[in-house]
Structure 1
Amino acid sequence: MSVIARQGFKYSLIGYFGFILGTFSAIFIFPYDMEFYGKLRYIMPTAEMLLPIVVFGLSFSNVKFFHQTQKDGKNQNILSLSLGGILINFLIFSLLFFFFFQLFPQFKGLELWKMKALILPLILIMALSAVFNKYLSNFKRIVVPNIFENIFPKIANIGAFCLFFFLGVSEKGSYGFFLGMFVLSFLGYLFYANKLEKLKPDFNTKYVKKDNLWKEILNYSFYGFLGNIGNYIAFRVDNFMIGEFLNFEENGVYSIILSILSFILIPQMGLFNISAPIINKTIAEGEFEELDRFHKKTSLTLFFLGAVLFSCILVGFPYLSNLIKNGDQLRQAEPVVWILGFAMIFDLATGFNGHIISLSKHYRFNIVIMLFLAITTIILNYLFLTRTELGIIGIAMATAISLTLFNMIKIYFNYIKFKVFPLTIEMMYILIICTLAITVAIILPETKSNFINFIYKPTFVLIVIFSANHFMKIFPIEDYLNKKFFKSIFKF
């Protein structure tokens, strides 16, 4: 087995393990104290939202220019200068941060200001780690960095929560553990990078001044910054705004529901690894009819599997909420499950729209629409929070609207540029079958046991959907139930 194959297989295993760990803890551990979990889910997304400002795309430049600089023996020079740039950016960012709150003291009531002693150091540590994460990918070593990037934050959340709730450690002490895990992760990056190649700090600027290489690096970094900040804001701003406008308890409830709904996205985890080379090849060769056929096929696969999982979640959610601690708070927020779930299902139905754009010559358009998504999400969230009394249901509606608009723009763009369209009549049939299965399952009599209800109603939904699909031949399940498919799920 090649290095890439081994790394890809292990990378996928770690990804699935991290997903299971995060979801399990969100359902069975964090509900014990929604408020403290809400605080943890405020800190991390807020830091991630501000992170691109400090990184400024320098992490991406350590991949883009690696082979060129390695030939000249200056790859560590670029690494050192990038880390130095991070420190300078962080210093400027911190000064502007404090200047803003001194200039506008009325904003000192924000949780962002109150938690600055934790959020600012976290931003710095994550920014430095981001550079090493991308740098290490040049050595075809992605497994260990993936542990630092995905497993350590989950351990930080779980450990801090358990220390606070189960062991009685103070909030400050628990936050100390939380931040300490990120410090440990950064030290791990340093140690592993040094193990692969002896680190030799080099801050000389002579090389980057030659042929104005620094301009190329900054230009590329800027595009990386634009795309990254749009992405982070679009998918992290919910937790930030709930924490600021509502309360941490609501933030905890919203985060747990998101974790449950993340089951819908499981099919995406392996399928893009299979699809990316095919998409890239068909675009490069101009085979747009083949791209359209493949796009429809992958979109139908994602939609079918996602719809099945979502149907099970919908009928099982009321009973799951009765089985876990403080589940009544989740039950009250059940509309969030329906609203966000349908938005996610439509997202799956559009397939790899964004990846088609990214892998084409129009990749810069992704930056534009990602910024559009970020701005739209912020505006809609603000309007729903300040003009309505809907709370996290309003947040869910704002996110669903902006995500749906985002996907519709990508559908239109790809149809104009490549004549590809992801939606098919089979999706309508699947939607009808799932709707009937959910409706019948809801009106079926309940037993006195929540656990039995939690098992038998989703099982009934599965039987109805797969039986109908068997007779109507809508989705070729048999094509996917083979060893080749499951092996490809773990292929990088």
Structure 2
Amino acid sequence: MSVVARQSFKYSIIGYLGFLLGTISAIFIFPFDMVFYGKLRFVLSATLMLVPFVVFGLSYSNVYFFGKAKEEGKHQNLFSLSLVGVGINFLIFLLGFFAFFYIFSSFQEDSELWDMKRLILPMVLVMSLSAVFNRYISNFKRIVVPNIFENIFPKLANLGAFCLFFFLGTSEKISYAFFLGVFVLGLIGYVLYTNKLEKIEPDFSTDFVKKDKLWKEILNYSFYGFLGNLGSFLALNISNYMIGEKLSFEENGIYSTVFSVVQLISIPSMGLYNISAPIISKHFADDTIKDLDVYYKKTSLSLFFLGLVLFSCIAVGYPYLTDFMPKSGKLLLEAQPLVWVIGFALLFELATGFNSHIISMSKFYRFNIYVMLFLAVLTTSLNFYFINKTSLGILGISISYAVSLTIFNLTKIAFNYYQFKVYPFTIEMLYSVILATLAISLAIVLPNFSNSFLNLVYKPALVLIIFFVGNHFMRIYPLDKFLTKDFLKSLFKF
């Protein structure tokens, strides 16, 4: 197996482990104290929103210009200057941060961001430096260890800080110190691993970047990287941030827990998107757009069908799952409408397949940046509306998320159809929805046992049986091609 294949396989394994660790913690551990969990989620979301302002796309420049710099033996020079750039950006950011809150002092009174600045600001620096190391390491075709620092460590920080506070009775300050310490440990790990791949030799000379005014190219590319990063980080984290600022930490914890449960339906997409990127690129290179359209439809159907099966199981089992969630089970049961709203949005995203990848692999790759910024602005605006103009609370936030994500995906579908005449939808998706509606309806109307565990097992199991039988007769998804003896043997052999 090649280095790339080994790294990709291990990367997927780490991704799944991180996903399961986060989900299991959200279901069985964090409900013990939704307020403190909500605080941890707020801190991480606020940090991730601020990181792009400090990194300013320099992490991406270390990938894009790596080949050119390495040819002249200046890749470490570019890397060193990027770290210095992050340090300077952080000082400028600090100046702007404190200037804003002192000029507009009224914001200090009810701002959780200001109250938690002693934790959030150091984390911004640590995670910004880590982002540069992460991208730099990828140049050596090593993605597994960085994925551990990027994916597993934040979940361990959440889990460890929560357990210290709730189960061991430590103060919030000590728990926060542990939380920050895990990220510092991750940064140290980045440094040691980078040095293992190639001995770090700091080089702060500016001759290379001055040559042919390369610094202008770097700044230009970094700016586009900054815009894309900012849009992505805002879109993904603005909801948790605004719930913590405008509603309550408890509601932030509830929203995060429900989101973690529903996000299980995205598991089938985790590996497929990475696998599809080179295939899409090859179709563009060979100008086989019709074949790309066929592949696009097949993969979109696969993601949608498998996601729909998982969502149907979650939808009928969620009320009984909350009985096993400690202390906050009643609150989470009341939040059941969020499961449907967020679930429908994620299902539609699965149905649209790898629409972003098609744009990214084409000459119109900058469109992804603009549409991501549009998503961030739309989500933020809708969040403000639902928080300030309605009494829906986190249900309003989930509606905001669903509307924004749906418009975001519709925009990309329209763009891909206009430019390349490809689209993801097939009649089999409609059949899948009909089958899911039947399965969920039957599972809901059938009588309940007095034991929640039995309900949690038998209702999702009934859904699976209906899907399996219905798919056998309707031929929606070719399960027979996968559930063969040779295929199962190959899995165990692999």
> What is the TM-score normalised by the length of structure 1?
0.98
Name the structure 2 match of 1:128.
129
Name the structure 2 match of 1:258.
259
Calculate the aligned-residue CA RMSD, in Å. Answer: 1.5
8 Å CA contact 1:13–1:490 kept in 2: the answer is no
Name the structure 2 match of 1:321.
322
CA 1:171–1:440: 2 relative to 1, 3 Å: same
SS at match of 1:94: helix
Name the structure 2 match of 1:391.
393
8 Å CA contact 2:277–2:357 kept in 1: the answer is yes
The equivalences for 1:327-406 within 5 A come to 327-406=329-408
Quick one: which amino acid aligns to residue 349 of structure 1?
A
Quick one: which amino acid aligns to residue 272 of structure 1?
Y
Question: For 2:175 and 2:191, how far apart are their aligned partners in 1?
Answer: 25
Question: For 2:490 and 2:13, how far apart are their aligned partners in 1?
Answer: 12
Quick one: which amino acid aligns to residue 279 of structure 1?
I
1:76 aligns with 2:76: yes
Q: Structure 2, unaligned stretches of length 5 or more?
A: none
CA 1:485–1:112: 2 relative to 1, 3 Å: farther
CA 1:479–1:339: 2 relative to 1, 3 Å: same
Name the structure 2 match of 1:293.
294
Question: For 2:226 and 2:422, how far apart are their aligned partners in 1?
Answer: 29
Identity %: 62
Name the structure 2 match of 1:155.
156
Question: For 1:188 and 1:100, how far apart are their aligned partners in 2?
Answer: 34
> What is the TM-score normalised by the length of structure 2?
0.97
Cα deviation, 1:61-100, whole Å, max 9, x if unaligned, reads: 1111111111111111001100000000000011000000
How far 1:153 moved relative to its partner?
Answer: 0.8
Quick one: which amino acid aligns to residue 313 of structure 1?
I
Q: Structure 1, unaligned stretches of length 5 or more?
A: none
The equivalences for 1:36-435 within 5 A come to 36-108=36-108, 109-325=110-326, 326-435=328-437
Quick one: which amino acid aligns to residue 86 of structure 2?
I
How far 1:47 moved relative to its partner?
Answer: 0.4
Question: For 1:297 and 1:37, how far apart are their aligned partners in 2?
Answer: 39
SS at match of 1:340: helix
Name the structure 2 match of 1:33.
33
Cα deviation, 1:253-295, whole Å, max 9, x if unaligned, reads: 0000111011100010111232222111112222111111111
8 Å CA contact 2:231–2:376 kept in 1: the answer is yes
Question: For 1:324 and 1:254, how far apart are their aligned partners in 2?
Answer: 14
Question: For 1:490 and 1:18, how far apart are their aligned partners in 2?
Answer: 24
CA 1:484–1:3: 2 relative to 1, 3 Å: farther
Name the structure 2 match of 1:460.
462
1:473 to 457, 472, 475: 475
Quick one: which amino acid aligns to residue 249 of structure 1?
E
Structure 1 runs, 4 residues or longer, greater than 2 Å off? 479-491
Cα deviation, 1:124-161, whole Å, max 9, x if unaligned, reads: 00000000000001111111111111111111100000
Cα deviation, 1:174-203, whole Å, max 9, x if unaligned, reads: 000000000010001111111111111111
Quick one: which amino acid aligns to residue 204 of structure 2?
F
CA 1:329–1:141: 2 relative to 1, 3 Å: same
Question: For 2:171 and 2:219, how far apart are their aligned partners in 1?
Answer: 44
8 Å CA contact 2:28–2:324 kept in 1: the answer is no
SS at match of 2:363: coil
Question: For 2:104 and 2:238, how far apart are their aligned partners in 1?
Answer: 22
How far 1:106 moved relative to its partner?
Answer: 1.1
